[in-house]
Chains A and B, each alone.
Chain A
């Protein structure tokens, strides 16, 4: 297993278009997280899954954002009607276990540019 993978690595879209990102976590990791990182800032939590259940969503996640993790494996993050303010790096992470102490392994991210 080579770690957390994310696709695409880069996405350029026009304002108003829908985009979907995919995250493949490390096998057997039961937790999956999405973060957003803008230039000069640390990552900000968006949402997380335990297996297939989405257990928490940040207030940063507006109604235009939706995330899924069918069957507790890969996850998708969809942004509808993109806005320029959505331009950011979207990071996915996964972890194994039931405590907050477990290491989160991060993917390389998907960089979104909204024109």
Chain B
């Protein structure tokens, strides 16, 4: 079974600084996708960024980028120029592209990010 581990329950960052959230996963599949979702307090979860495992190039979305290390099964999220609105719970998630994990997301336990003014 696929597992996703987020080893940092909480992180904090100063406004305008950079922070990196860690995520590791375990899978025997070769074709899969990885995601970072953001869940603001009392708000619904939204997609931040996603990565296709077969692509070597790291995904980037404005201030958000990932460091995808396939061999190490690591998928960290870097937030640059942190803003107060970035404060939220961040979830790393995995889904396979074949077999039993197809379509469903497997989430980590999340990292609560605090942004200090």
User: Which A residues are closer than 8 A to B by beta carbons?
Assistant: 3-4, 31, 33, 35, 40-45, 48, 55-56, 58, 91, 99-101, 103-104, 106-109
Q: A100-B102, A108-B43 are in contact. List 4 more A-B contacts (CB 8 A).
A: A42-B108, A45-B105, A56-B104, A101-B33
Interface size class of B (residues with CB under 8 A): 20 to 34
User: Which B residues are closer than 8 A to A by beta carbons?
Assistant: 4, 32-33, 37, 43-47, 50, 52, 91, 93, 95-97, 102-110
Contact A104 B105, beta carbon cutoff 8 Å = yes
In the bound complex, CA of A40 to CA of B110 (Å): 8
Check A45/B109 contact, CB under 8 A, given A99-B97, A106-B46.
no
Contact B45 A106, beta carbon cutoff 8 Å = yes
In the bound complex, CA of A40 to CA of B47 (Å): 19
Contact B44 A106, beta carbon cutoff 8 Å = yes
